[in-house]
Amino acid sequence: MRRRPSQQETDLPAAADPTGGEADETPPATAPAAASTAALAFDHVTFAYQRQAVLCDVTLRVACGETVAVVGANGSGKTTLIKVALGLLQPARGTVRLFGTAVTRFADWPRVGYVPQRAGPDAAVPVSVQEVVHSGLARQVGPLGRLSRAQRDTVDHVMEVMGVAGLRRQSVRTLSGGQQQRALIARALVTEPDLLVLDEPTSAVDAEARHTLRESLEHLRHHEQVAMVYISHDPHGFAGLADRVVEMQAGHLRDAGAGDGDTAPAHNAAPGHEPRGGPAHAG
């Protein structure tokens, strides 16, 4: 997760090239591959719990920097899709890749932030917001548990982005459900992931908190270079936040149109471990 360049930066004329235009015009050999590597790719994936098929021949590609909303009724397989994406469940058939690497061999988990589906506010945890966010770096801190300057800056940055910086010393048990959810998303962002996966981020929060959360996620989408996959059982809840909406229906994944408010009904049907501790987990 890096800040996106501003429009001005991306629109610099050729004359502003700091190399003075002397750079080799041939792009580096790795550039085309990097451009085409998806953050997340499902290729004809089938998954079943015991004998109940939950994912049927699912193909999905989430490009780097892209935001995809996954909608669908309760029980349609959305959470299962995410657990398969993160290597927490193994498909019977097909392949899943994270940044071009089969999820079974993927080890770069700081690049993936995950906020699991929650039943409601977790009022039992007696720690501060800042401690919750720090804990996202648990595997990366030094021997005495000290954060580097850069890590402290990142903690501050993600708390600002998620609107919880003012609550940093407050115990999470005193927060509303929406504030807790934003703290957990900040925790998932603290490793500066290139892919953020949110399972029903608004399910346990009230309407006002949902609005604030949407604003924070909209900010992320426009200002940070992070691909996002949101899950929602509410087709209207998140569609406006996504570049693309896909819908789970009885195990099949269908294209449900462009995001940004255009949620045309499904039509062009697309066929549809814990390595090194697993993804940054904010549960």
Ligand X SMILES: Nc1ncnc2c1ncn2[C@@H]1O[C@H](COP(=O)(O)OP(=O)(O)O)[C@@H](O)[C@H]1O
Regarding 116 and contact with ligand X (CB under 6 A), the answer is no
Smallest distance from the beta carbon of 49 to ligand X, in angstroms? 3
Span interacting with ligand X, options 8-16, 68-76, 137-145, 168-176, rule CB under 6 A = 68-76
Span interacting with Mg ion, options 76-84, 91-99, 190-198, 270-278, rule CB under 5 A = 76-84
91: closest CA among 80, 76, 75, 101?
A: 80
Backbone angles phi, psi at 217, to 5 degrees: -70, -35
Regarding 221 and contact with ligand X (CB under 6 A), the answer is no
| Identity of the residue, 49 or 107, whose beta carbon is nearer to ligand X in the bound complex | 49
Span interacting with ligand X, options 73-81, 107-115, 150-158, 187-195, rule CB under 6 A = 73-81
Q: How distant, in Å, are the alpha carbons of 9, 41, 100, 177, 262 from that of 4?
A: 10, 23, 22, 29, 25
* Other Cβ atoms closer than 10 A to 19: 7
The residue behind tokens 């501050």 is 156
Smallest distance from the beta carbon of 124 to ligand X, in angstroms? 24
| Identity of the residue, 79 or 130, whose beta carbon is nearer to Mg ion in the bound complex | 79
Smallest distance from the beta carbon of 107 to ligand X, in angstroms? 25
Residue from 79, 130, 181, 203 that binds Mg ion (CB under 5 A)? Answer: 79
| Structure tokens, 109 | 């988990």
76: closest CA among 231, 192, 209?
A: 231
Smallest distance from the beta carbon of 249 to ligand X, in angstroms? 10
Cα separation, 193 vs 182, in Å, equals 16
